[in-house]
Structure 1
Amino acid sequence: MRHPRRLFAGVAVLALAASASVVVVRLQQGGSTPGSSAAAVETTPPGDLTDAQKAVRKREVDAVLARRSAAVLKGDVKGFLAAVDPKQPQLVARQRTLFTNLRQFAFTSLTYFVGDERPAPAQIAQYGPTTFSTRVMMRYQLTGLDAKPVQTDVGYTFVRRGTAWVLVTDNAIDETLSPDGHRQPWDFGPVAVVHRGKVVVVVDRGEKALGDKIAKASQGAVDGVRRHWPRPWNGAVMVVAMSEPQVLSILWTSGAGRGWTVAAKAVSLYDGDPWTQRQTAPVSSRIVVNPAVRKQLDQDLLVHEMTHVATLRLGTRAPLWLVEGIAEYVRAASIEDDPKWTVDPYRKTVRTKYLPSMKVLPGQAEFNADGDRAYGQSWWITSYLEDRLGEKKLAALYTDLAQHNTTQAAFATILKKHTGKTAPQLVAAAKTFRG
């Protein structure tokens, strides 16, 4: 969601502090039987390995990775660091930080396995012919947060020394990783993890007070969503509010014309290679807060993003105006649950400033051209639909579109079925709605 000028009164603001974090990544150990075909790997240039030798190498490194994941689950820091190059104290320190971070999360399951090799000539020049740089897939499920396992990728460089594979670099091939699949919260500096009910908040270490404030606001936001989104949602969500701007590789600006600053975003997570095109609904999600606006973080912004989390698993085919319109509708409705607060200033601005120019249901072009206007128009259209249909039937429209909106013809049919209107008729009706 963008961070608009606040057009309504009285939302309690959290004063948030920020501190610096350092970047990094991760991994672990292995061995082979002397005299096996693995021995040939030690002296064969990487480009000359046979398929059989590559299979042996993969099997051996997978064994290292299996011990790595087991060490995390058992809390065995010695086992976790066993394969890390002891000659590199900075690498060991980063890996120790990674272990400490990971142990603060409750994993239902965790596995690492070799993905695809990523040649890194500079690493071969530095470490020799047995150097093996690869994407490593991390498949995991967080207890209480992820209904199913999700997958991310990290990049590691291993070298064979004697009968063991040693991790020598954990960031040399980062540029080859998926743009939004890696850089999880635990991949940077030390973190603190705060739990409040089913809400999990991740902040920088030393900022637990900040985490507590965000957790309290997040729980209030969950309650607001559950009051106004009639579909089942258990309220489980992770909010990442770290000072590190690269968590989950979020871009903090959007729009091509009068764009906007993204204050927070619900990031979708999938089970599968993060590089592949997503054909299925997301498995889980995280809310990531822009470090630059953390001091202005407020509950209504969290309501907007948590609405996205609540609707995410229904499907991803709903049109943009309804996706953002639902989130804005729930946000505004939750504010007005408290008789002391109102969105009347926002209502007036949308009615007088944004509605007269509305000619179509806002799509990507409209959001790119003027984010504030497109969000306001989407909220108004959705509020009109709620006024005519009620929240349950509005949710039914969203669900049908999220799952079955595959073509323009399908969209027109679904819209007519639920609203009795075509798209132009809906625009015209919304413009006459007084709000």
Structure 2
Amino acid sequence: MVEGGGRHSRHAAVRRRTRAWPFLLAFVLVAVAVTGGLALHRSTEAADKDSPSDTTPSVDLAARATAVDNVLKRRAQAVLTGDEKAFLADVNPADTKLVTRQRTLFANLREFGFAKLAYQQLAQQYDDAITRKHGPSTYLVAIAMTYQIRGIDLVPVRAMLGYTFTKTASGIWMLVSDSDLDTRLPKGSHEEAWDMGAVLVKRAPRVLVVVEKGQDQLATKLVGMAGSAVKAVSKSWPGGWNGSGVVIALDDKVVRGADYTQPKNAEDALAMATFVYRTLPGEVTGAGERADSYVVINPNNRAKVDARTLAHEFTHVATAPYGPFAPRWMVEGAATYVEFLPMDGEQDLALTRYRQDVRTKYLATAKALPPDATFFDQADSSYPLSWLAVDYLFTRYGGVEVGTLYRELAALGTSQQERDRIMLEHLGLTEATLFKALKTAASA
């Protein structure tokens, strides 16, 4: 118990600091994604009014839309049936680099095992430089990729990409670029694992792990840890969890919503849960409608990840569909609470001693629960105090009440007034009086 307590205390300081930035980045990227998504659609609307190509008789818009739709349908069907030749048939054969990238993309997509896959034109984009590069028939378009990974995604989800097509002399619409729109797409809604280099996908029940091709040993290790973490979250989260854990552990430092080129992330973060969308940012709502999350591991800190790391992130995955408005202390406190519970393959932690350590080291000098605005600036104390608050709620009110409270706060807690109203309704406490209750319990 003493050894476990010491180990746990070190993790409270060190591991919590490494966890501070993942959720922050995910939260910030949602805001970026919203702006990008809205800008993407607004620029299209403006261009539709002003672009001369829309009124040029030589461009048959209906025929172009139909032709490109057919290309997209052929490509989706080719992935589902394993027909590489059909997937590459509409790719410019003169661009050998593009063909190579597309061949890798096809192989990667086949690795994931899609139950459903479709591509849909969203909106034409305009860029004079790209038109000059590819010719007057250039058609630059944002594409929605709707997919459902077999045994993983509970519902179909969407990502975004951009394609450039041109019309050949024989009247065929051909894909000439798959990257012209990359810098204009909303962050967090593209740069998927299958868009990188060649990958290896390894599965287990409710688990999918993505690594660089050839890294079989790493994949096997992560599948084992992810399996333990999925079981832990399913068992411990109120009402259970029937979702799946997707773990992406590539050498690339920018994947989905994770950006490990940022100095603080590169140094401190172990992993982060990145949002998966039912509808894309700016498509139906500004922030997009979340369906799930995939976990992306920091390649710089890969060796430090364990089953507890993944249980923390999978708790974020389980709660992602609830909404974005829960207090940060609830979000991170709940994930840390599940992370610290008994788990297959992991040493039990001395929680009684840790609880007392948190009260002595952090609660004694704190003035309130960690506020959202400075949560990550004071991560060494924010995470332990958040765990203590959620631990108190589970002990005093039970898991069902905590789960219900979390759902309502995440969906409706848009202001301090709303948060206090919801907490009073469920607990008879506000955030301020909850903090006082923690103080009282510590002195009892």
Aligned to 2:178: 170
Is 1:151 the counterpart of 2:158? The answer is yes
**Unaligned runs of at least 5 residues, structure 1:** 10-43
1:247-262 alignment runs, 5 A limit:
247-252=255-260, 261-262=268-269
Is 1:114 the counterpart of 2:114? The answer is no
Judge conservation of contact 1:45–1:129 (CA < 8 Å) in 2.
no
Judge conservation of contact 2:232–2:338 (CA < 8 Å) in 1.
yes
Partners of 1:231 and 1:254 lie apart in 2 by 37
Distance 1:51 1:301, change over 3 A: farther
Partners of 1:416 and 1:255 lie apart in 2 by 40
Aligned residues: 398
1:33-432 alignment runs, 5 A limit:
46=53, 49=56, 53-161=60-168, 162-252=170-260, 261-276=268-283, 277-278=285-286, 281-334=289-342, 341-343=349-351, 347=355, 349-432=357-440
When the two chains are superposed, the root-mean-square deviation of aligned CA atoms in Å is: 3.0
Partners of 2:437 and 2:413 lie apart in 1 by 22
Distance 1:213 1:262, change over 3 A: same
What is the identity, as a one-letter code, of the residue corresponding to 1:372?
D
1:351-374 deviations in whole A, cap 9, x for unaligned? 233223422332321213212221
Partners of 1:383 and 1:340 lie apart in 2 by 16
Matched position secondary structure for 1:72: helix
Matched position secondary structure for 1:86: coil
Matched position secondary structure for 1:334: coil
CA apart distance, 1:73: 0.8
Distance 1:339 1:303, change over 3 A: closer
Partners of 1:421 and 1:249 lie apart in 2 by 35
Matched position secondary structure for 1:222: helix
TM-score by length of 1: 0.83
CA apart distance, 1:59: 2.1
CA apart distance, 1:60: 1.5
Aligned to 2:23: none
Q: Percent identity?
A: 37
Judge conservation of contact 1:325–1:379 (CA < 8 Å) in 2.
yes
1:60-88 deviations in whole A, cap 9, x for unaligned? 21111111111111111000000111111
CA apart distance, 1:119: 1.7
Matched position secondary structure for 2:325: coil
Partners of 1:69 and 1:336 lie apart in 2 by 39
Partners of 1:255 and 1:429 lie apart in 2 by 38
Matched position secondary structure for 2:111: coil
TM-score by length of 2: 0.82
Partners of 2:263 and 2:432 lie apart in 1 by 25
Partners of 2:263 and 2:406 lie apart in 1 by 24
Matched position secondary structure for 1:266: strand
Partners of 1:387 and 1:91 lie apart in 2 by 57
CA apart distance, 1:281: 5.0
Matched position secondary structure for 2:322: coil
What is the identity, as a one-letter code, of the residue corresponding to 1:358?
A
